[in-house]
Amino acid sequence: MKLIISAAFFSVSCAAFSPIIPSRTTFGVTSRGRVVVNDNKVPFFADENVDTEEEAKAVAPSPSVVETIEEKEMTLEEEVDMLVEEEMKKSSKMSNLRNANGVDYAPWMGIDEEEETMIRSQVKAKSAARRARQEQEKSVSGNLYLDSQAQEISGTGLTTKVIDGKVELEWATKSENDTKGFVVRRRPAKTEDFTVIASYKDFGPLVSKGSDGGVYRFLDKSTTPGGWVYRITECDQNDIESDLCQCLIDVQTDAEQRGAVIAAVGFAIFAIGATAAGVLLDPMNGN
């Protein structure tokens, strides 16, 4: 038993001395005309914590109801009141169904105060999520709107890594239709406004590689420690922009990087010490 524990500590210590690999994050991207989407074509930010498409339809208001909400410019509370009232009417009609003998088909369908409170809570959560999604849609266009895991594993994508405090971006396209080039934008995490940091207009490597697409790279030398969101946008011959992909990356300070190295070395020393102690305590099994 002691030998097994010692071996486990030894394997961990070996891993601790392995080179530290820069953080990398991969996201999917396909150029215009080659969009890969989810089967149900749900925007990447539209998840409302429902497991299936059927559940999503069940909790989402009908298009006519949404149109009414937008026409009347309802507040969130007004929207919730209207939707709760509709749900109550549906349940009331169902509970009033009777057979030829006057017996209720579903007398348990009546709604009490506790159930109404639960319905109101669920409706409010869904309404808030719908409004948040609409706000996100305003700032996203192109393939990024229909981003999906299928794009990520398709072999083309945006990759980021940090090298000596600089952020390297790399992405690839399968094909490009009337593409002029690409624009790289950046914003601090937890903010809304992007800033253009590079464009095909003044940086040659971002000019389109032609109809067959290709691999593009950009090194951001101006970044500072902290969380950053990078976005890649494609621009066509008519100056129409299409967002392809974006990612969040954390740039560490020198002190944070040194701290990570020291922690790894310290853990490795502890693991080696534990291994040696195990051998000394049980020299027969250690051999």
Same domain assignment for residues 29 and 153: yes
The verdict on residue 191 lying in a domain is yes
Let me know if residue 281 belongs to a domain.
Answer: yes
Among candidates 146, 142, 169, which has minimal Cα distance to 249? 169
Q: So what's the pLDDT on residue 82?
A: 82
Distance in Å from the first CA to the final CA of the chain: 14
Indicate whether 150 and 35 sit together in one domain.
Answer: yes
- Identify the pLDDT of residue 201: 96
Token pair, residue 177, equals 């239709």
Cβ(43)–Cβ(137) under 8 Å? yes
Per-residue model confidence (pLDDT) at position 9: 42
164 assigned to some structural domain? yes
CATH value at residue 35: 2.60.40.10
Q: Domain boundary at 139, 159, 194, which?
A: 139
Angle between helices 63-71 and 76-95 (to 10 degrees): 140
Per the structure, the complete domain to which residue 249 belongs is given by 24-40+146-254
Residue 69 shares a structural domain with residue 150: no
The answer to whether residues 154 and 237 belong to one domain is yes
pLDDT of residue 264: 60
For residues 238 and 260, give the distance between their C-alpha atoms in angstroms, rounded to a whole number: 48
Residue 180's pLDDT is 95
Length of the chain: 287
pTM exceeds cut of 0.75: no
105 and 129 belong to one structural domain: yes
Same domain, 188 and 216: yes
- The answer to whether residue 249 is domain-embedded is yes
- Residue 47 located in a structural domain: no
pLDDT at 153: 35
- Looking at the fold, whether 34 and 170 belong to one and the same domain comes out as yes
46 inside domain: no
Token pair in block for residue 77: 């509370």
pLDDT of residue 205: 96
Distances (CA, A) of 265 to 203, 247, 274, 283: 42, 31, 14, 26
- Kindly tell me the burial class for residue 128, based on how many C-beta atoms sit within 10 Å of its own C-beta (0-12, 13-18, 19 or more): middle
Cα–Cα dist 166/187, whole Å: 15
Examine the fold and report which residue of 139, 168, 196 is the final residue of a domain before the chain moves on.
139
Does some domain include residue 45?
Answer: no
pLDDT truncated to tens, each residue of the chain (287 aa)? 444 444 444 444 444 434 344 444 333 344 443 333 333 343 444 333 444 444 444 445 666 777 777 777 788 888 888 887 777 776 655 555 555 555 554 444 555 677 778 878 888 888 777 776 666 555 555 555 554 343 333 334 678 888 888 999 999 888 888 999 999 999 998 888 899 999 999 999 999 999 999 999 999 999 999 888 898 999 999 999 988 888 888 887 666 555 555 656 666 666 676 666 565 665 555 55
Torsion sign across C-alpha atoms 100, 101, 103, 105 = negative
Cα distance between residue 225 and residue 248, in whole Å: 13
The angle formed by the CA atoms of residues 121, 126 and 130, to the nearest 5 degrees, is 150
7 and 79 co-located in one domain: no
**Residue 241 is encoded by which pair of tokens?**
């922009």
- The total number of structural domains that make up the chain: 3
267, 248: one domain? no
- The tens digit of pLDDT for each residue in 47-58 reads 334 444 444 444
Shared domain for 164 and 248, answered yes or no, is: yes
Identify the sign of the CA torsion 248, 251, 256, 261: positive
Residues 110 and 84 in one domain: yes
91, 124, 139: which is the final residue of a domain?
139
